[in-house]
Amino acid sequence: GDSVIQMQGQVTLSENDFLFINCTYSTTGYPTLFWYVQYSGEGPQLLLQVTTANNKGSSRGFEATYDKGTTSFHLQKTSVQEIDSAVYYCAMRERGNSGTYQRFGTGTKLQVVP
């Protein structure tokens, strides 16, 4: 079946380190892909999205490239800050019976230490 895979459960970095969170997906075609961020005590919120294969999305210094060859949508940031500490979810648009919904990965918890 369709799936969104995030292999990293937790990542710990120091401030100004480079961030790389991997995400791969399995489905037919080229679905819209999303990254959501969840800060402590809040619900997830959209960070960025990309609709077309081989395109790039960016927001707040984060960047992700849709690679249809490797079916991946990894999230990167050049220099993380303590305020970036959060859980990051990769998600994929899916078709339901009468419309669409989003399938999420298992999430990656990022901890940035000063």
Partner 1 sequence: EAAVTQSPRNKVAVTGGKVTLSCNQTNNHNNMYWYRQDTGHGLRLIHYSYGAGSTEKGDIPDGYKASRPSQENFSLILELATPSQTSVYFCASGDRDRVPERLFFGHGTKLSVL
Which of these segments, 20-28, 43-51, 63-71, 72-80, binds partner 1 (CB under 8 A)?
Answer: 43-51
How many residues bind to partner 1 according to rule CB under 8 A? 27
What residues numbered 14-33 form the site for partner 1, per CB under 8 A?
A: 32
Q: In angstroms, how far is CA 101 from the centroid of its own chain? A: 16
**Residue closer to partner 1, measured from CB, 69 or 96:** 96
What residues pair up with 64 in beta bridges, in sequence order?
A: 57, 75
* Site membership for partner 1, residue 96 (CB under 8 A): yes
Among 83, 100, 111, 113, binds partner 1 (CB under 8 A): 100
Q: In angstroms, how far is CA 4 from the centroid of its own chain? A: 10
* Site membership for partner 1, residue 57 (CB under 8 A): no
Site string for partner 1, 76-95 (x = CB under 8 A): -------------x---x--
* Site membership for partner 1, residue 9 (CB under 8 A): yes
Pairwise CA distance, residues 69 & 86, whole Å: 29
3-state secondary structure 76-95: EECCCCHHHCEEEEEEEEEE
Per the CB < 8 A criterion, the answer to whether 1 and 103 are in contact is: no
